[in-house]
Structure 1
Amino acid sequence: MTNDALSKVADAERDVDRYIFEHRVRPTITVDTIAEHRSNPFGAGHSPELEVLLRYLRRNPVRSRPRYMLVETKPYQEWCIALHSRQRGEPLVLTGERFGSQAEAQHEIFLKRLLDLGDPVITRIVETARD
């Protein structure tokens, strides 16, 4: 494939992704969906809306967005969020945020991923859900 053809394919993929986000994913981002994730961050019995949203957030991550991981800093007592550098062999960077349960930490990563979408409307929804 020529560079021009590859560029056209990449543009088409971005257009499809944008369409999916606007028409299928964005409508699922509500205070209720965020509350559902807070009460059940691990997966059994999620609503179809939350499943759509989680699949979108977990799929091929965008390189320009942070990549979050959980680190258990005290066995069964404390979890921290770490940033993965995406470079093999590079150390994780702890954010300093500490959580008393894995569920709390997992939910915070979910909120961070929503905020990383960079959409002001989504940011307001997340801030409302946090209150």
Structure 2
Amino acid sequence: MNEQAKKAYLETDKRILERNIKPLITKELIEEHRKNPVGRHSHALSQVMNYFRRNHEEIEGKDLIVCTEPHKTWCLGAHPGKRGVPYIVFSDECYDTREKAEHALFLKRLEKHGVLIK
């Protein structure tokens, strides 16, 4: 994608965030995700999650979850941006269930996009 196309894409993406996604973010929506981070969600939560899962970010540095100990430990991390290079693992952001890690990642994405309600 050339620079002009990338700029137009990011401007459109920002408008989608402001007009369509930000109004959906409420304390109730965040609580819905905390209670059920994996599985079926309300239409509003599905829209928010689909927006965050899209590939609108550069792959390098993209937030993700890394299972560091099967069935025991899940840590937040970041994609290194290159094939064959291990994921960056944030050892200070580890959880004892996948669900807790999923919710932590959700909160991190909300904060990263400036829409986290505390």
Q: Do they superpose with TM above 0.5?
A: yes
Which structure is larger by alpha-carbon Rg, 1 or 2? 1
Cα RMSD over matched residues? Answer: 2.1
1:34 to 20, 30, 42: 30
Shift of 1:11: 4.1
Gaps of at least 5 residues in structure 1 are none
Q: 1:91 to 1:23 in 2, by over 3 A?
A: same
2:17 to 10, 15, 21: 21
Greater helix proportion? 1
Q: 1:110 to 1:77 in 2, by over 3 A?
A: same
Pairs aligned (count): 116
Gaps of at least 5 residues in structure 2 are none
Which residue in the other structure is 2:72 paired with?
A: 77
TM-score by length of 2: 0.84
> For each residue in 1:86-107, what CA deviation from the matched residue of structure 2 results, as whole angstroms up to 9, or x when unmatched?
1112121210122111100111
Shift of 1:111: 0.8
* SS in structure 2 of the partner of residue 91 of structure 1: coil
Identity %: 34
TM-score by length of 1: 0.76
